[in-house]
């Protein structure tokens, strides 16, 4: 099914991650999610510059400190590092393969688009109230109306911009 | 203790995401270009298992649901904005962290952009709160009470729909 023999079927890994999320809700009472962490970290950074910066309704909604989700996101970095080192798929790479095939190996263009895209994405994720983890996985798991709507819009928006960027390329 | 649980959960989740190879830019953009549906297979498998498990445990009173509020204006506009950015960056917030873990340097710039995006949102929220957040606000609603249908019937139907969709993807070799 996969070209790389060391990878796992997405069905198996996905199902196991489903069991993980059940365990997380049972033990810690926490549904998986990631994008709030970016707001929380930014709040902590802005607070260290000036406390007046975080005296705004959005940051006041949150406790600006390292929490469960911050550790979860940090853990994802470690888990991916561990997995990729163990099976030899770890690879330091600036320009993704598909990008390079279509736009060349120049790093600056990729870096700029990654930064701008990331900025737009998390603006939208916080706006919508979650990302593909919080709205997508956890929302659809709970049969939440907001999850179905947001997930559909995530894919709709993504198809628009990815197809504009790539057009009819490979 | 909560922090340690978060770390362990993240490590296992990151491990599984990496094993399924869904952290890669090529896989995420591959799905958005309808060429490689690996991430959709991962997500739907997750949802099918977790949906049954969470609703079973909820039935026994062992867990509580915690759905996010439905606000049509914010879910739709924010969702579309997220998508437009996702199609450019090729990582979502969780997978950017994982991509960094497997050595992808562009994920660092993606995450820096994500932090700036979070800040921009925080500082425009007061204006949005008075406008978009009042459009179609329905609170924390889920499908069963909205439709007035038993949750297990809905879950059974969704399991069939998801499974048929996955079978369709396999047939199309996506």
Q: What is the ipTM of this complex?
A: 0.97
Q: How far apart are the first and last CA of chain B?
A: 42
The SS3 of residue A161 is helix
Rg (CA), chain B: 18
CA distance B38 to B112: 26
Cβ-nearest to A66 among B3, B84, B100: B3
**Is 70 exceeded by the pLDDT of residue B166?**
yes
Interface touch A116/B98, C-beta < 8 Å: no
Q: What is the pLDDT of residues B60-98, one digit of tens each?
A: 999 999 999 999 999 999 999 999 999 999 999 999 999
**Is 90 exceeded by the pLDDT of residue B34?**
yes
Cβ-nearest to A84 among B10, B102, B142: B102
Interface touch A34/B93, C-beta < 8 Å: yes
Nearest C-alpha of chain A: how many angstroms from B162? 11
Q: What is the pLDDT of residues B110-128, one digit of tens each?
A: 999 999 999 999 999 999 9
Greatest C-alpha distance within chain B: 48
Q: Is residue A146 part of a domain?
A: no
Give chain B positions within 8 Å (CB) of A35.
93, 114, 118
Question: What local confidence, expressed as pLDDT, does residue A2 receive?
Answer: 43
Domain interval for residue A33: 1-92
Nearest C-alpha of chain B: how many angstroms from A163? 6
Q: Is residue A115 part of a domain?
A: no
More confident residue, B83 or A1: B83
Short-list A72, A66, A75, CA closest to A44: A66
What global pTM score does this model have? Answer: 0.96
Question: What local confidence, expressed as pLDDT, does residue A168 receive?
Answer: 78
In the A/B pair of chains, how many CB contacts fall below 8 A? 526
Contact B42, A17 (CB under 8 A): yes
Query: Please, which contacts does B164-170 make with residues 24 or more away whose CB atoms are closer than 8 Å?
Result: B165/B44, B166/A11, B166/B41, B166/B44, B166/B45, B169/B37, B169/B40, B169/B41
Phi, psi of A167 (to 5 degrees): 55, -130
In the predicted model, what is the mean pLDDT of residues A143-170?
Answer: 95
pLDDT tier, A1 (very low <50, low <70, confident <90, very high otherwise)? very low
pLDDT tier, A169 (very low <50, low <70, confident <90, very high otherwise)? confident
List the structure tokens of A108.
Answer: 């600056």
Q: Is residue A129 part of a domain?
A: no
Interface touch B76/A13, C-beta < 8 Å: no
CA distance B113 to B119: 10
- In chain B, the residue whose alpha carbon lies closest to the alpha carbon of A140 is B47
Q: What is the pLDDT of residues A35-62, one digit of tens each?
A: 999 999 999 999 999 999 999 999 999 9
Question: What local confidence, expressed as pLDDT, does residue A43 receive?
Answer: 97
Give chain A positions within 8 Å (CB) of B38.
10
Interface touch B81/A72, C-beta < 8 Å: no
Mutate which of B80, B125, B132, B133 to disrupt the A interface (most A C-beta within 10 Å)? B80
Q: What is the pLDDT of residues A93-126, one digit of tens each?
A: 999 999 999 999 999 999 999 999 999 999 999 9
Q: Is residue A100 part of a domain?
A: no
CA distance A61 to B46: 30
**Is 50 exceeded by the pLDDT of residue A3?**
no
The total of structural domains in chain A comes to: 1
Q: Look up tokens 């196991």; give the residue.
A: A16
Short-list B39, B1, B47, B9, CA closest to B21: B39
Percent of chain A at pLDDT exceeding 70: 97
**Is 50 exceeded by the pLDDT of residue B48?**
yes
Interface touch A160/B62, C-beta < 8 Å: no
Computed from CA positions of residues B78, B83, B85, B91, in that sequence, does the dihedral angle turn out positive or negative? positive
Q: Is residue A67 part of a domain?
A: yes
CA distance A166 to B33: 8
Nearest C-alpha of chain A: how many angstroms from B142? 4
In the predicted model, what is the mean pLDDT of residues B17-46?
Answer: 98
**Is 50 exceeded by the pLDDT of residue B25?**
yes
How many residues are present in chain A? 170
Interface touch B47/A30, C-beta < 8 Å: no
The total of structural domains in chain B comes to: 1
CA distance A22 to B172: 31
Q: What is the pLDDT of residues A8-40, one digit of tens each?
A: 999 999 999 999 999 999 999 999 999 999 999
Nearest C-alpha of chain A: how many angstroms from B72? 8
CA distance A149 to B52: 21
Domain interval for residue B100: 2-171
Mean pLDDT estimate for chain A: 95
Interface touch A118/B155, C-beta < 8 Å: no
């Amino acid at each position: 099914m996969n070209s790389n023999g060391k990878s796992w079927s997405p069905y198996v890994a996905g199902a196991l991650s489903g069991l993980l999320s059940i365990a997380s809700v049972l033990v810690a009472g926490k549904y998986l999610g990631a994008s709030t962490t970016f707001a929380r970290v930014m709040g902590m950074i802005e607070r260290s510059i000036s406390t007046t910066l975080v005296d705004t309704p959005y940051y006041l909604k949150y406790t600006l400190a390292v929490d469960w989700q911050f550790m979860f996101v940090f853990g994802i970095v470690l888990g991916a590092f561990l997995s990729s080192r163990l099976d030899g798929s770890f690879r330091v790479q600036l320009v993704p393969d598909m990008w390079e095939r279509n736009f060349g190996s120049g790093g600056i263009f990729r870096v700029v688009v990654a930064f701008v895209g990331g900025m737009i994405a998390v603006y939208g994720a916080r706006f919508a109230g979650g990302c593909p983890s919080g709205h997508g996985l956890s929302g659809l798991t709970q049969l939440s109306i907001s999850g179905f709507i947001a997930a559909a819009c995530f894919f709709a928006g993504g198809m628009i911009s990815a197809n504009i960027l790539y057009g009819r390329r490979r | 203790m909560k922090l340690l649980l978060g770390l362990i959960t993240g490590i296992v989740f990151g491990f599984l995401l990496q094993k399924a190879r869904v952290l890669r830019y090529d896989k995420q953009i591959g799905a958005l270009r309808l060429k490689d549906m690996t991430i959709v297979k991962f997500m739907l498998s997750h949802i099918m298992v977790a949906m049954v498990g969470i609703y079973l445990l909820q039935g026994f009173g062992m867990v509580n649901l915690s759905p996010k509020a439905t606000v049509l204006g914010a879910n739709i506009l924010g969702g579309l904005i997220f998508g437009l950015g996702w199609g450019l960056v090729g990582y979502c917030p969780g997978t950017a962290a994982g991509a960094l873990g497997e050595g992808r340097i562009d994920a660092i710039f993606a995450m820096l952009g994500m932090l700036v995006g979070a800040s921009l949102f925080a500082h425009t929220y007061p204006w949005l709160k008075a406008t978009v957040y009042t459009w179609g606000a329905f609170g924390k609603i889920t499908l069963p009470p909205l439709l007035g249908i038993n949750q297990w019937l809905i879950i059974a139907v969704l399991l069939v729909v998801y499974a048929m969709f996955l079978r369709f993807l396999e047939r199309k070799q996506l």
